[in-house]
């Protein structure tokens, strides 16, 4: 890149988990510099956060609208090149719209919008803007996930017959039988902020995105059982799905926040006629390849025998473990290359590999299909067209 | 036991996998002696098998009817104490009926009968006979499965919220795209011999039985997606289920024969409000206990800290691994204690822990419910009363 | 085999761990029948044990001498075909000598004798007797150990550079700081019964035997550090060795009884120029093959892709786990084939694979070399010629 | 921190692995900014590297001497706060000396110097300078290593009896039998650049440092067997050590570059009278705790049940895996806090946890002891006083 890209951030002030992850992901490679932000709807908190991040106080704003306006008014060689949006679900759309229309590239957390309708509008806005829009479905940033995708696309698995995707977490289980107020009282459980789903929207969409990224399979229909185990919950904290893919493959997908003792146990198994894959996010540097007629193989990050995508998305040698932040940084780095091209009027590089507005639309359609199916008496609900 | 029990066998001649397992399980502890058999419907093959097993040729029969009749005619101190039935599904019922009515105790392979109707008839026959009937749902014979059951029953898990049971095998996947005749051409795929299901009947029932054994939960309703991936197959080679248990727990259960590279990967995860369990049949000497607020624990077979059931069903010290045959032998040993009591007119010991005719009925009801659900358009099918 | 072989046993009465293992190993395949025994030096205990095993009381003896004499006096079609010796180390030699000279084949537990001198005498006695002598270095009975040996012998590893063999157990650690008398008060810690070593003799020899079995490498010299962590112990409870093999390979071998929390953690890693192997006794159904330039492979018991030796020593299909007893039974089964040939005057089958008197001599030479090195001030002690 | 710290770098230009790691570690938390460097002894390469890192060309130097001089001449609010030294072993000392004497704080790669003599000189220079000196023994930066140390120091393990530390790598094995020139032709194998050891100096020192960090045990004497398997090698590519610690604990430590198929398999097992620990660098987010009388425990990074040090050195929630770079960044962050205090004349924070000049001296003494022992005929060589 010609120079470091200048990043702004909306949301992600002191104490916010995902904002810190976005910043570390952006920092890692020394190609991006945080220079501005509206870190909180509380202006004081925003200022304090700006101080933590060593920003020029004049670039720390009290609202995202102010930020978009004032940054747009700065000279081209000062103003931010893109904004990272790490606010609550219901604000993703207005913030993204605001910055895109003010002429900024956008990196946005998932789920992309509050609902599918907004998602489709956002697609139009992105198109019209001509700007880069990246969605941080970060799990596809892992090198061994990219290896899995390359194996699948090159036919190493043969025809895919079955996909099993699990995403159990257990952090909320303490609230199931808690006397007194729930401990996990996140906005994610509030339908006015989170939308029509909690668990499926927060982590089920990662599972769906991961499976689609690796296999390329499209869901035809879904049969969903959503549950709210925690008393008083309006939204799901657990969901179990049967899936039928176009072309005949079958699947199981589930996500849960009440699976006691599981931490962030996203994993996927893809069964093909020639070979099968198994990848576990909690042990991300390995990819297991299974056959019915020869020994299992363990592919490990950082080796020369891996494909181009895995190699290009790796920072350390084999068995110097890479983790969550490095995968997240791969999304940032790919988006940064696109943003760099956009900013400097260069030709857009080919084969940039980051999730975009289409992934966001698929995710929102997935959420709406699942919730529709969960309410249905019939077994199968067609995947909602997006 | 007073003396070694005398065992007869129907089926299980040369080359039959499961017959050999039954014999090894019976042999292991030196409490049971194979003395008679009708090992094949082909009398020559039966004779040759008898020779392999060092039997008196006069006790090697050409048919099970002949065997039941002639053994019954032998003096009490010579004739068999029980028969092991390891024939094809459609013969389980007639053979069991024949021996029970001839006054013999029975150990029978699963699924118990050809259909639920027969299963209910068998229940009556067993009751009337006063004989011991044991069904070899062998996976419940593993010590760490017994530990899991004891933990669950003692409340260590709290209230159970979710059960995920998987049973993927991949041995048949080569037939999915094979040109020419299928390699796996088992009677299990023939509905006239196997009944209405292949995969669910063969291994899905093990998964169901395992979950019920550990948790005690009863299934309320099932939503099933059955598949036949191998061309020309009438019966399922893969099945995926959503499960609702009485009392509010939720579940996923699946079984498959086309999951490339999986071998015999039965495993179960049970999530409770206080703790969760995880057990993998391929690594059977460990039981993983997970919590959301303290370190995971690995319980290992053979240790003093385990409960009574696990300790009573163990033969070797810790980390001298026990396996499939030892678990199978635990079913045999428990049944043998009951048979010993029956034969010698002793009081039946309490708390003998082996699967019986009721487990067989549950299994058949499970198969019929799954197949019914698979054909239904509505999402949920009530578990068929048995 | 023509008929079941008739086995006698010396030692191994009620409560003895290793006697029970030998009986289960002998029982498993239905080719061997226990018919006689002198199970304890206490005649009452011997009788009770005989009853447990359903023996004819006239074949339960009060001493091994009586047993050898009376069994030899029985008609050829009644008397035992071989004896299993499961007594304390210091009795291995006299019992084996007694039975060999009385014309019986012998299966003997390890270490073979009390010292190397006895071992060499035993070699002469075996030779002179023309009888079969098998030593139960049972860990070489595992199918995947046989696969490892086959890989090494066929050159798959290239030239072997390094061998790391570990055998940590922790069962005695409670005695290190115990107030009051030790809990583990085994004869193994008594030099008059056990010989010059406890830990190295009991389990270090297994480690040595395992490495030699797989690699064929001969030890040239050893540098040993033996420790007795438990107060009052005369013999080692922990030992750490550097090893130099003939031909240039290097090694580490250690054994321990005070490695808190380890159970029976025998494992070996063999590093070659072309590939490396890793096998863990606690997970015996897998063999890991590693390369520096391609993905790791996991070889799993029961698959068609394995070599002849692994396949011939397997009883159940893949992922129906086999364990310690099955491996032990492989030693018994191979010895039984030799004994069967000896008894029936048949030609000795080729390539029978069980440890014999030469393995016993190597083991005793190993123990003496290690103890000599531990006392030496110089770094390297030549392996004692046997 | 008041402001971002300004970092300079010596070495670490284009293509250098460890330089890139240092930069990412420094970047990660947004508290350090690379502003100057002498990245290569080739001025052109240094310039190009400076461009890659988006530096002001006036701050990219042709030699470290020039850099030290010119940076020292800059105003206090411009010049670097510290320098990172990532050059070859033989330059560590002169570069560190140069910058310390020019008034700069130093972060230096290991091994600290070319030999022990230089190490002791450096200690004096650091003392005299009053500057911060940090040594990047990065493996002690892992949160679960810090947890292990806290467990050990709080007595959870009881008295430590045994330590087994392994560091096998296999990247060089291809050269053992290679025809033609070696592929791995690193300066590490050149004694004029690397010093008296290759393998022990490069990775054995990490193993030694890790064990000392966790246990606090001091080595009393060593018995070493060093090997050079690759033809033509003057320095070791493999080394195996027996270790005796002060106070009676025993140990094994080995390091290797020819262990085919191992990647970066640093691991440690620490056996105490009350409990034992096991940590594997390739799976760094877990710490296994073993007992002889209760279930094993798996401690996992990111949980509330962990001690203060593990929690303070963690960036992401449980099971959002952290890896090598995050651990490295923990060393940087701790050093940065000390540097920040030094630069701003603040009181030095207590309990800052990063390796320093004393660790470097211990490491050099370890190397010299090992090489001395390897040449000795006697078994034990006293640890060289430093």
- Per-residue pLDDT tens digits for A258-272: 999 999 999 999 999
Residue A340 has pLDDT above 80, yes or no: yes
**Could you tell me if A19 and A355 are in contact, meaning their C-beta atoms sit under 8 angstroms apart?**
no
Per-residue pLDDT, A386: 80
Residues from chain D contacting residue B299 (CB–CB below 8 Å): 295
Q: Please state the φ and ψ torsions of residue A168, each to the nearest 5 degrees.
A: -85, 130
A54 touches chain D (CB under 8 A): yes
In CATH, what number does D140-313+363-381 get? 3.30.360.10
Residue D332 has pLDDT above 80, yes or no: yes
Q: What is the mean pLDDT of residues D317-326?
A: 98
pLDDT band at A185, cuts 50/70/90? Answer: confident
A144 touches chain D (CB under 8 A): no
Alpha helices in chain A (DSSP H): 17-27, 43-52, 64-73, 89-101, 116-129, 143-153, 191-194, 199, 205-215, 308-312, 324-343, 357-375
Q: Do B295 and D305 touch (CB under 8 A)?
A: yes
Q: Do D299 and B295 touch (CB under 8 A)?
A: yes
Q: What is the mean pLDDT of residues A63-80?
A: 97
Q: Do C23 and B3 touch (CB under 8 A)?
A: no
Q: What is the mean pLDDT of residues A148-158?
A: 98
Residue B311 has pLDDT above 90, yes or no: yes
Instruction: Look at the alpha carbons of B304, B309, B312, B313 in this order and tell me if their dihedral is positive or negative.
Output: negative
Q: Which two tokens stand for residue A113?
A: 């919008």
Question: What is the average pLDDT score of chain A?
Answer: 97
Q: Do D297 and B298 touch (CB under 8 A)?
A: yes
- Which of B159, B176, B296 is facing A161, going by the closest CB pair? B176
Nearest chain D Cα to A53, which residue? D30
Per-residue pLDDT, B184: 78
In CATH, what number does B142-315+363-381 get? 3.30.360.10
How far, rounded to the nearest angstrom, does the alpha carbon of residue C263 sit from its chain's CA centroid?
18
Kindly list the distances between the CA atom of residue B11 and the CA atoms of B22, B50, B89, in Å, as whole numbers in the listed order.
Answer: 11, 11, 11
Digit-coded pLDDT (tens) for B313-325: 999 999 999 999 9
Strand locations in chain C, DSSP E? Answer: 5-11, 32-38, 82-86, 105-108, 133-135, 160-168, 219-227, 238-245, 250-256, 267-272, 276-280, 286-290, 296-300, 381-382
Residue D194 C-alpha, separation from nearest chain B C-alpha, in angstroms: 43
pLDDT band at D320, cuts 50/70/90? Answer: very high
Strand locations in chain B, DSSP E? Answer: 5-11, 32-38, 82-86, 105-108, 133-135, 160-168, 219-227, 238-245, 250-256, 267-272, 276-280, 286-290, 296-300, 381-382
Residues from chain C contacting residue D251 (CB–CB below 8 Å): 240
Q: Where are the domains of chain A?
A: 5-139+328-356, 142-315+363-381
Interface partners of C (3+ CB pairs, < 8 Å)? A, B, D
Per-residue pLDDT, D180: 83
**Could you tell me if C224 and C249 are in contact, meaning their C-beta atoms sit under 8 angstroms apart?**
no
Per-residue pLDDT, A332: 98
Q: Which residues contact C358 (CB under 8 A, 6 or more apart)?
A: C123
Per-residue pLDDT, A204: 98
Of the candidates B191, B103, B131, B146, the residue with the CA atom closest to the CA atom of residue B357? B131
Digit-coded pLDDT (tens) for D14-47: 888 899 999 999 999 999 999 999 999 999 999 9
C56: helix, strand or coil: coil
**Could you tell me if D290 and C263 are in contact, meaning their C-beta atoms sit under 8 angstroms apart?**
no
Query: What CATH topology corresponds to C144-314+363-381?
Result: Dihydrodipicolinate Reductase; domain 2 (3.30.360)
Residue A43 has pLDDT above 80, yes or no: yes
User: Could you tell me which residue, B15 or D259, shows the higher pLDDT?
Assistant: D259
Residue D272 has pLDDT above 90, yes or no: yes
Q: Which residues of B, range 360-379, sit inside 8 Å of A by Cβ?
A: 376-379
**Could you tell me if A63 and A13 are in contact, meaning their C-beta atoms sit under 8 angstroms apart?**
no
How far, rounded to the nearest angstrom, does the alpha carbon of residue C120 sit from its chain's CA centroid?
18
Residue B343 has pLDDT above 90, yes or no: yes
Domain C5-139+328-356 has CATH 3.40.50.300: no
CA-to-CA distance for D85 and D93, rounded, in angstroms?
Answer: 10
C158 touches chain D (CB under 8 A): yes
- Global pTM reads 0.97
The number of residues making up chain B comes to: 386
Domains C5-139+328-356 and C144-314+363-381 share a fold: no
For residue C358, the tally of other CB atoms under 10 A from its CB is: 15
Q: Which two tokens stand for residue C155?
A: 């050159």
CA-to-CA distance for C197 and C219, rounded, in angstroms?
Answer: 19
Q: Do D296 and B294 touch (CB under 8 A)?
A: no
Q: Do C254 and D254 touch (CB under 8 A)?
A: no
Residues from chain A contacting residue C298 (CB–CB below 8 Å): 295-298
Q: Please state the φ and ψ torsions of residue B355, each to the nearest 5 degrees.
A: -70, 145
Q: What are residue C106's DSSP bridge partners?
A: C83, C133
Per-residue pLDDT, A154: 98
CA triple A309-A312-A314, angle to 5 deg:
110
C357: helix, strand or coil: helix
Residue D185 has pLDDT above 80, yes or no: no
Q: Across the 386 residues of chain C, what is the mean pLDDT of every consecutive 10-residue run?
A: 95 91 98 97 95 97 98 97 97 98 98 97 98 98 98 98 98 94 86 96 98 98 98 96 98 98 98 98 98 98 98 97 98 98 95 95 98 98 93
Mutation for C interface: D182, D224, D261, most C CBs within 10 A: D261
- Count Cα neighbours of B100 within 13 Å in the Cβ-side half-sphere: 25
C162 touches chain D (CB under 8 A): yes
Nearest chain C Cα to A301, which residue? C295
Q: How large is the ipTM?
A: 0.97
Q: Which residues contact D117 (CB under 8 A, 6 or more apart)?
A: none
Taking each helix axis from N to C terminus, what angle separates D116-129 and D357-375, rounded to the nearest 10 degrees?
Answer: 170
Q: What is the mean pLDDT of residues A273-299?
A: 98
Kindly list the distances between the CA atom of residue C261 and the CA atoms of A21, B98, B289, D293, D297, in Å, as whole numbers in the listed order.
Answer: 38, 53, 17, 8, 11
Question: What is the average pLDDT score of chain B?
Answer: 97
**Could you tell me if B229 and B258 are in contact, meaning their C-beta atoms sit under 8 angstroms apart?**
yes
Q: Do B264 and C319 touch (CB under 8 A)?
A: yes
User: Could you tell me which residue, D386 or C154, shows the higher pLDDT?
Assistant: C154
Per-residue pLDDT, D186: 84
pLDDT band at B258, cuts 50/70/90? Answer: very high
């Amino acid at each position: 890149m010609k120079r470091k890209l200048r990043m702004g951030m909306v949301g992600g002030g002191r104490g916010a988990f995902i904002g810190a992850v976005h910043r570390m992901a952006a920092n890692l490679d020394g190609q991006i510099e945080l220079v501005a932000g509206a870190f909180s709807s509380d202006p004081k908190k925003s200022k304090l956060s700006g101080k933590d991040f060593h920003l020029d106080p004049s670039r720390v704003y009290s609202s995202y609208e102010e930020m978009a306006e004032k940054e747009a008014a700065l000279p081209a060689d000062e103003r931010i090149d893109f904004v990272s949006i790490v606010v609550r679900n219901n604000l993703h759309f207005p913030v993204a719209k605001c910055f895109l229309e003010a002429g900024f590239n956008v990196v946005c957390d998932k789920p992309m919008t509050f609902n599918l309708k907004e998602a489709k509008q956002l697609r139009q806005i992105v198109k019209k803007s001509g700007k880069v829009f990246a969605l941080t479905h970060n799990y596809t940033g892992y090198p061994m996930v990219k290896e899995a995708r390359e194996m699948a696309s090159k036919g190493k698995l043969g025809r895919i017959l079955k996909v099993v995707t699990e995403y159990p977490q257990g952090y909320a289980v303490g609230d199931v039988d808690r006397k007194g107020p729930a401990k996990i009282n996140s906005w994610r459980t509030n339908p006015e902020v989170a939308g029509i789903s909690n668990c499926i929207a927060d982590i089920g969409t990662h599972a769906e995105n991961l499976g689609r990224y690796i296999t390329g399979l499209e869901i035809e229909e879904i049969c969903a059982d959503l549950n709210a185990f925690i008393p008083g919950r309006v939204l799901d904290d657990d969901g179990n799905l049967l899936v039928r893919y176009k072309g005949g493959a079958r699947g199981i997908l589930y996500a849960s926040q009440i699976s006691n003792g599981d931490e962030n146990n996203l994993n996927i198994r893809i069964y093909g006629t020639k070979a099968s894959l198994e990848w576990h996010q909690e042990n991300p540097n390995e990819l297991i390849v299974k056959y019915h007629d020869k020994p299992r193989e363990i592919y490990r990050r950082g080796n020369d025998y891996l494909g181009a995508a895995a190699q290009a998305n790796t920072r350390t040698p084999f068995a110097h473990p890479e983790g969550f932040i490095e995968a997240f940084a791969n999304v940032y780095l790919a988006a940064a290359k696109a943003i760099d091209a956009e900013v400097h009027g260069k030709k857009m590089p080919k084969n940039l590999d980051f999730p975009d507005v289409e992934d966001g639309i698929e995710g929102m359609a997935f959420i709406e299909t699942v919730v529709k199916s969960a309410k249905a008496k019939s077994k199968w609900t067609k995947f909602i067209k997006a």
